[in-house]
Structure 1
Amino acid sequence: MNHRFLSIVGLVAAMTFTGGCGVFKPRGTGEAGAEKVIVGKTAPALADALPAWAPKKHAFNPSRTREHDLLHTTLRVSFDWEKQYLHGLAELTLKPYFYPQRQLTLDAKGMDIHSVHLMQGFDGTALEYKYDGQKLTIDLGKEYTRDEKYKLEIDYTAKPNELASGGSDAITEDKGLYFINPLGEEPNKPQQIWTQGETEASSAWFPTIDAPNERMTQDIYINIDPKYTTLSNGTFVYSRQNADGTKTDYWKQEKPHAPYLAMLAIGEFAVVEDKWRDLEVNYYVEPAYESTARKVFGNTPEMMEFFSQKLGVDYPWAKYAQVVVRDFVSGAMENTSASTFMEDLQLNEREVLDKSWDGIIAHELFHQWFGDLVTTESWANLPLNEAFANYSEYLWAEHKYGADEAAYLHLEELGQYLDEAQTKREPLIRYHYKDREDMFDSHSYAKGGRVLHMLRKIVGDDAWWASLNLYLTRNKYSDVEVAELRMAFEDVTGHDLMWFFDQWFMKPGHPELLVTQRYNKGQLQLNVQQLQDTTYSPVYRLPLQIAIWAEGKKQLHPVVVEKANQTFTFDVAAQPQLVLFDAEQQLLGTVEHEKTEEELLFQFRHAGHLAPKLDALSELQEQVSRPQVQSIYKEALKDDYWAVRSTALSILSRLKEGQVASLEPTIKQMAVNDEKGSVRAEAILALAGWGGGKYQDLFRQAMNDSSYQVAAAAILGYASTGAADAKQRMAQFEDESNEEVVLALATIYAVQAGPEKYDWFLQKLKSASSGELYYLLQSFGAYLASNSETNTPEVIAILGGIAKEHRLYYVRAAAYQALMVMSENPEVERLMQEIKAQEKDERLLQMYEM
């Protein structure tokens, strides 16, 4: 699963607010991540203070004890759209796992259980059972041994909306089954039904053993109106017309998978057909996006071939489908053979110019091996699913787009983990957690991916892929823990890797290194201190390389850092021009290594990796007025890789106009001609920040750019000039539905508009997608604060409804924050108290108390 939330507008959204949720950016949407690429410096914890990130003490969480083995599930389902119920008949085939059993306990959340029968052919014997709303406990009528199968039929009604709300930052709700616009009352939204099983929410729509160490085959018969297209796991067998005017679609999953990977999706989808080798590869989207679906998902067959060839294990399922749904509760989900994606992957012709979703597409595809074919035995071992899926984004970027694009993704992920590490440091594999949803964090994803990258560097590419092949073939269709991954690598390489897995998977934290150097009489001494708090983290063993340039020549020296304070000595004929610690830039951690201006200039031009180039630009920004420093910014603005150009622009835009006068003509040309839309947009915003009055014509022209990002930046730039016709030009875009443009206008209207824009805000609030709505509410709150006459009962009711009822907790939070600007109103104060009293999400309750 990809859990990170979408940053809708990159640069434009950053101007609206800074805040709370993690982001998942499509590749190329902007440079919001550019500032994170410079590795931060983390001070060691004080000896007498408990760090904010200190690992918390929680109860031990083992894997689920297996008393029964669920072999097969057959589901026959129909739906009550008005009540938002699923009516189901579940037929489960089981046997005791090892020890004889007379009683079976199933997960079945929030259901009405109508009957339970033991089946012998078509004959059923009613069984006694107890049901507490969460667990269904059945007396089997006799004791069964592990050699005896038995079949149960359960007649039930699932009522997902009557479940208590739960979820996490990764998966914002856990009710399993979702009806979208069930009564068709929302004019801008299709009617859909879809499921989301991870972590243990499949049991909210069918009775099962809802644990990742369980596996079953399945048949699903979906009874529905013929106007809808259905999707589920496995192979589509047939569609049968029924006498009552409905149809029944039959989907068959012949290979076993975990219950949390079961899925269905129902809607009026256009199905865009593709293929990989002889397998169907289909993309399910709303009809309005049929023409662009292949532009979004079209690299999927190439990804399947790339991963199959590299792993030596062909894609293992009967087909691969990808479906985009409305109001999804996460970024995407790797259901076996049928991944589900959030609506943001539906793009029009202009939007595909700016955005690539290859990362999230690769992520869910790689899960079909790592997570679906081989599954974590417990949520404590979640990185065995998510770290691999995260790292697949790097592998694909490296293969398809080159080393710089992969390196940029690596730096974004490293920054994401280091951000989280300011307040949280846990082992990757952690059996002690408060809630299984807590496992879905930047440790399991971003840190896990970076740890796999280091493992790949240590063993080498041939051993890396051979080890993954052994891991997959040895453990296919089974559940695993981290030791099985370690043993696969050890069996291939012949090396004991316990030291690596212990320090990186089983211990919290990361190395925090201070590197100093001294050169004297042909010898370079490099001192490396590990400053991390060893109360919680180990003294790391770090195999890496040191690159030394002297007299224009580069030498590489492999070393192993393994002490808290360690000095390495190298023979170097002349004063080094540059010493680059961790020459391959593969280390997960922070490194403080002070360099002179001359060394940084040399580093930018010669280091050969993206991170040192960006680091040099950042470190030299205070000296940008010096001609020799300004020269590398001129080079950076013309660099072949977009992120270097973008980072240079981002740094330069923070400086005063007079400091960058000589670079301004280049930036003006970039605003018009750069091949990357996000770079053109950043150049426009830089010019606007320096007082863009003299660039009115440029901004006016850019408002018609093919890129929505550029148009949105130009709208902001033109509004900042105070041009007499600015309001009229803004009004020309008010009917635009693109999020970039809508949020740019909202940013302007929040501080410049009066009551005349009241109706525009309300119309956009009603039509916004969930991600857009979150940001739009930020601007609307600012608008309400400066336009008290618009604080109407209608507005209060709309915000109250969102704060109470919206399915996404962070959107509810944004609506509550907008209400706060009117909290002096007794009616609003009472409403906020009602919202607090009704809210069940602990994250929001903590925020509301603050």
Structure 2
Amino acid sequence: MNHRFLSIVGLATAMAFAGGCATHKEATNASKNNKSTNQAATAKGDVPVWAPKQHAFNPSRTKEHDLLHTTLRVSFDWQKQQLNGIAELTLKPYFYPQKTLVLDAKGFDIHSINLMKGYDGTPLKYTYDGQKLTIDLGKTYTRDDKYTIEIDYTAKPNELTSEGSDAITENKGIYFINPLRQDPNKPTQIWTQGETEASSAWFPTIDAPNERMTQDIYINVDKKYTTLSNGTFMSSRQNADGTKTEHWKQELPHAPYLAMMAIGEFAVIKDKWRNLEVNYYVEPAYKGTAKKIFGNTPEMMEFFSKKLGVNYPWAKYSQVVVRDFVSGAMENTSASTFMEDLQLNERELLDKNWDNIIAHELFHQWFGDYVTTESWANLPLNESFANYSEYLWAEHKFGADEAAYAQMNEMSQYLEEAQTKREPLIRYRYGDREDMFDSHSYAKGGRVLHMLRKYIGDEAFFTSLNRYLTQNKFTDVEVAELRMAFEEVTGEDLMWFFDQWFMKPGHPELKVAHTYQNGQLSIQVQQLQDTTYMPVYRLPLKVAVWTGGKRTEHPIEITKASQTFSIPVAAQPQLVLFDGDQQLLGVIEHEKSAEELRYQFYNSKQMLAKYEALSKLGENPTAELKVIQDALKDDFWFIRSIALNALADVKPDANPAIVAQVEQMARQDKKGSVKADAILTLAGWGTDKYKSIYDVALKDSSYQVVAAGIIAYAGTGAEDAKQKLSKFEKEDNEEVTIALSSFYALQGGPEKYNWFVDKIKTSKSSGKYYILQSFGAYLASNNSTNTPETIDLLTDIAQNNNLYYVRMAAFQALMVMSDKPEVKERLEKIKAAEKDKRLIEMYKQAL
């Protein structure tokens, strides 16, 4: 599961409003977070707001029955948005004799339950409370007895109380997209989403991650639709009523939450890895670019298979893009599902690739599907590995700088969350299982794995992963099994590492100082983290020292709250780089002179060290224009972007050479996002002398550059701005549309109303959210557009959109008109009908 759809939405906005990339925001956050997280606000008294919360213990599900196989025969009532199903479940008691079977079954109508012998069924007695189905088996079965029951049922997902998290916004299990074809701008689809325990909203099962089953799914649909499910496509049978029944078989066992279906009018683009099918399911409009979007998948499969020493384990690998998906992506066994944002046209591919999320879901096929966490408390055994695969792929495919950039963003995400939340990675005392899908399980977990790799070395790291996977394949695991795999390979007791990084909350906060005297470099290290909640860490790392223009590395191991290390050095160091590998998850405060920072920028070849130096020097940009000017020429795009960011407070007449360089970058930088940043840097200088550059930007092939050009040109106040920018009204690209909507929010008159309505109806989920926000501002300044049609449009979205944050944006836009009695009445009805707990609480505060 990729939880980052909200950060992806944020990225799209940053691209439009901050000049084509998220680097301004990310750099600012990283810079703030790297100062100290001890400065986070504290709650009443002496308890920090981030202090771990005490909840009841959450063990793994007790195994009373073992679910061996599930056969599903499903059809659909599109009008009612319901699934009609017959489920045949083959089970046996796990160990102790059993007479009663309890299944998860959420919101069903149960029509009949039979014990099956061949094709003959004997009715069984049962009770049902809408969540749990309790079946009297009629006799006691032992662990040597298999039995099969058949359940005839109807699933009604839209009648369920909707809950979710920031990672998975809904838990209805099965979703009908535009089922009545009322929206001409959206395809008709059905898809499922099982994680965490929502598969039981579309078929009865034992909905726990420590259960495994094989499965057959028979899907009855209109013959115009393409189907996808786990495992191997077996057959398609034409029915007399014009429908067809397609059979998919999953022959290797997997957890119920990984079962999936996707149904729609997809274009299927065929690829392969070795002798396995690799297929990409996209909307027909994107069949021409599908291979460019997903085309690195076979190379990823080869890379991960060789790196792990375990070949991709399933019968095929398919990837499907669906509308209104409730997360970023989901690693269903052999068939991952992705949000619609992955569908890009040729021009969008100039600026974007989705290799990170594609690698993430693929790596789950080993870590999560092949070996599965036994409980949600152990979720990092799935997500931290998938997160780290993004680093591994970036390192392999794009180089050390891109990998370091990915690591920097992960650090920033975790440290930002750590200001208000610090929990152990493996946490049995969570309040809700959805709480596990946070930046701890993903970002922190990935960085912890990187530290472990650096500590034991590459060969031992990947040998240990091989052992973990081969010893535990097709089983459920807890963190001790991961630790033991590493210990068996390395021969070292690694309890200390797993205890402080997996089982304890927080991170080290270090204050470092260094002095040199008489041939000795003295390094003083203090651990400043609050040891009421966090440990005194054991930290093996390296100190890099430059003398005479040469770098040497010196290993140290921190074990105390305050410690001094003495290193023999022949001359006064030019630079001391604490954590020379730049691998530590934590906050390091190490004061350096401007001279040392300049030396660090020019001589450390590591992107993170250059970024740190440039960021600190950039706090006094007027004094560091030479460094900034050189950074503008850096080979790595992110450093160039940070250099542009540093110029925000520099007057354009301070250095004509830099101004000329920024102008050149705005015209010619090879990276679209940096070119966009340069354009907005010029715009930030508040003069219309660069209008010709903005005009050229409006014709650029990069949408990010065009979006920056729109913002910049609008900011000139030119008389022809409306006329010139109106030519982008028919553009469907999200960055361009968001940029234009921000202009029209304040400068558009009543004549732009139809444009807003059209974009709201046709935009993708993330874009719809931001356009609705601009629309709210537009309505506030255009009272004549606050019509019954507007109220109806926003009401429909606020009540019926599948994505909670889109419903929220429509509700907020309606609030602009809340002085109207009829609107206030609508808002109250929306609040009363809302089933998502997050929105219910928000609406209570708003009304």
Verify same fold: TM over 0.5.
Answer: yes
> Which residues of 2 match residues 574-723 of structure 1 at below 5 A?
574-626=571-623, 629-723=624-718
The corresponding residue for 2:218 is 221
Match of 1:522 among 509, 519, 525: 519
C-alpha distance in 2, partners of 1:672/1:40? Answer: 35
* Contact 1:11 1:30 (C-alpha < 8 Å) held by counterparts: no
How many Å apart are 1:796 and its aligned residue? 2.3
C-alpha distance in 2, partners of 1:477/1:11? Answer: 37
How many Å apart are 1:783 and its aligned residue? 1.4
C-alpha distance in 2, partners of 1:377/1:836? Answer: 37
How many Å apart are 1:805 and its aligned residue? 2.2
1:613 and 1:304, CA in 2 relative to 1: closer, same or farther beyond 3 A?
Answer: same
Match of 1:51 among 43, 48, 52: 48
Match of 1:724 among 719, 735, 746: 719
1:495 and 1:8, CA in 2 relative to 1: closer, same or farther beyond 3 A?
Answer: closer
Q: Which amino acid aligns with 2:810?
A: A
C-alpha distance in 2, partners of 1:145/1:726? Answer: 78
Between 1:513-522 and 1:241-250, the stretch displaced more is 513-522
Match of 1:445 among 418, 432, 442: 442
Matched, 1:33 2:30: no
Matched, 1:86 2:83: yes
The corresponding residue for 1:534 is 531
C-alpha distance in 1, partners of 2:194/2:153? Answer: 18
How many Å apart are 1:632 and its aligned residue? 1.5
1:547 and 1:30, CA in 2 relative to 1: closer, same or farther beyond 3 A?
Answer: closer
Q: Which amino acid aligns with 1:33?
A: E
Structure 1, residues 694-713: CA drift from partner, whole Å, max 9, x if none? Answer: 11111111111111111111
* Contact 1:8 1:740 (C-alpha < 8 Å) held by counterparts: no
Q: Which amino acid aligns with 1:690?
A: W
The corresponding residue for 1:21 is none
C-alpha distance in 2, partners of 1:312/1:12? Answer: 37
Matched, 1:328 2:321: no
The corresponding residue for 1:433 is 430
* Contact 1:9 1:709 (C-alpha < 8 Å) held by counterparts: no
Secondary structure of the residue aligned to 1:136 is strand
> Which residues of 2 match residues 60-71 of structure 1 at below 5 A?
60-71=57-68
1:154 and 1:622, CA in 2 relative to 1: closer, same or farther beyond 3 A?
Answer: closer
1:44 and 1:630, CA in 2 relative to 1: closer, same or farther beyond 3 A?
Answer: closer
Gapped regions of structure 1 (runs ≥ 5): 19-24
Matched, 1:486 2:483: yes
The corresponding residue for 2:462 is 465
* Contact 2:37 2:418 (C-alpha < 8 Å) held by counterparts: no
C-alpha distance in 2, partners of 1:11/1:500? Answer: 34
Secondary structure of the residue aligned to 1:643 is helix
Matched, 1:72 2:72: no
C-alpha distance in 2, partners of 1:844/1:342? Answer: 22
Per the normalisation by structure 1, the TM-score is 0.97
* Contact 2:15 2:673 (C-alpha < 8 Å) held by counterparts: no
Structure 1, residues 614-651: CA drift from partner, whole Å, max 9, x if none? Answer: 1111111233223xx21211111111111111111122
Q: Which amino acid aligns with 1:270?
A: A
Matched, 1:241 2:238: yes
Match of 1:156 among 153, 158, 174: 153
The corresponding residue for 2:173 is 176
C-alpha distance in 1, partners of 2:306/2:390? Answer: 16
Match of 1:825 among 820, 824, 828: 820
C-alpha distance in 2, partners of 1:344/1:475? Answer: 35
C-alpha distance in 2, partners of 1:315/1:615? Answer: 39
* Contact 1:685 1:713 (C-alpha < 8 Å) held by counterparts: yes
Structure 1, residues 523-573: CA drift from partner, whole Å, max 9, x if none? Answer: 221111111111110001111001111221222110011111111111222
How many Å apart are 1:685 and its aligned residue? 0.8
The corresponding residue for 1:419 is 416
Secondary structure of the residue aligned to 1:658 is coil
Count of matched residue positions in the alignment of Structure 1 and Structure 2: 841
C-alpha distance in 1, partners of 2:816/2:15? Answer: 19
Matched, 1:312 2:309: yes
> Which residues of 2 match residues 350-389 of structure 1 at below 5 A?
350-389=347-386
Match of 1:300 among 282, 294, 297: 297
How many Å apart are 1:408 and its aligned residue? 0.1
Q: Which amino acid aligns with 1:76?
A: R
Matched, 1:4 2:4: yes
1:74 and 1:61, CA in 2 relative to 1: closer, same or farther beyond 3 A?
Answer: same
* Contact 1:212 1:377 (C-alpha < 8 Å) held by counterparts: yes
The corresponding residue for 1:287 is 284
How many Å apart are 1:791 and its aligned residue? 2.2
C-alpha distance in 2, partners of 1:465/1:54? Answer: 34
How many Å apart are 1:30 and its aligned residue? 6.1
Q: Which amino acid aligns with 1:542?
A: L
The corresponding residue for 2:806 is 811
Between 1:677-686 and 1:361-370, the stretch displaced more is 677-686
Secondary structure of the residue aligned to 2:288 is helix
Match of 1:196 among 185, 188, 193: 193
How many Å apart are 1:755 and its aligned residue? 1.5
1:517 and 1:29, CA in 2 relative to 1: closer, same or farther beyond 3 A?
Answer: closer
The corresponding residue for 1:22 is none
How many Å apart are 1:57 and its aligned residue? 1.1
C-alpha distance in 1, partners of 2:507/2:23? Answer: 29
Structure 1, residues 58-107: CA drift from partner, whole Å, max 9, x if none? Answer: 11110000000000000011111111111111111000000000000000
Secondary structure of the residue aligned to 1:291 is coil
* Contact 1:547 1:580 (C-alpha < 8 Å) held by counterparts: yes
* Contact 1:31 1:678 (C-alpha < 8 Å) held by counterparts: no
The corresponding residue for 1:265 is 262
Q: Which amino acid aligns with 2:642?
A: T
How many Å apart are 1:501 and its aligned residue? 0.3
Structure 1, residues 815-842: CA drift from partner, whole Å, max 9, x if none? Answer: 2222233333333333333332222322
* Contact 2:15 2:704 (C-alpha < 8 Å) held by counterparts: no
* Contact 2:16 2:704 (C-alpha < 8 Å) held by counterparts: no
C-alpha distance in 2, partners of 1:501/1:573? Answer: 38
* Contact 1:127 1:138 (C-alpha < 8 Å) held by counterparts: yes
Q: Which amino acid aligns with 1:35?
A: T
* Contact 1:11 1:32 (C-alpha < 8 Å) held by counterparts: no
C-alpha distance in 2, partners of 1:737/1:134? Answer: 43
C-alpha distance in 2, partners of 1:416/1:220? Answer: 39
Secondary structure of the residue aligned to 1:625 is helix
Q: Which amino acid aligns with 2:29?
A: K
**Aligned CA-pair RMSD:** 1.7
* Contact 2:84 2:153 (C-alpha < 8 Å) held by counterparts: yes
Secondary structure of the residue aligned to 2:566 is strand
Secondary structure of the residue aligned to 1:837 is helix
C-alpha distance in 2, partners of 1:199/1:692? Answer: 53
Between 1:72-81 and 1:630-639, the stretch displaced more is 630-639
C-alpha distance in 1, partners of 2:106/2:834? Answer: 20
Q: Which amino acid aligns with 2:239?
A: N
* Contact 1:370 1:384 (C-alpha < 8 Å) held by counterparts: yes
1:7 and 1:657, CA in 2 relative to 1: closer, same or farther beyond 3 A?
Answer: farther
* Contact 2:360 2:390 (C-alpha < 8 Å) held by counterparts: yes
Q: Which amino acid aligns with 1:462?
A: E
Structure 1, residues 570-601: CA drift from partner, whole Å, max 9, x if none? Answer: 12222211111100110001111111110010
C-alpha distance in 1, partners of 2:181/2:272? Answer: 34
Structure 1, residues 164-223: CA drift from partner, whole Å, max 9, x if none? Answer: 111111100000000000001100101000000000000011100000000000000111
* Contact 2:622 2:650 (C-alpha < 8 Å) held by counterparts: no
Secondary structure of the residue aligned to 2:642 is helix
Structure 1, residues 704-743: CA drift from partner, whole Å, max 9, x if none? Answer: 1111111111111111112221111111111111111111
Between 1:560-569 and 1:309-318, the stretch displaced more is 560-569
How many Å apart are 1:10 and its aligned residue? 6.5
The corresponding residue for 1:206 is 203
C-alpha distance in 2, partners of 1:735/1:222? Answer: 39
How many Å apart are 1:762 and its aligned residue? 1.3
Matched, 1:553 2:550: yes
C-alpha distance in 2, partners of 1:29/1:653? Answer: 16
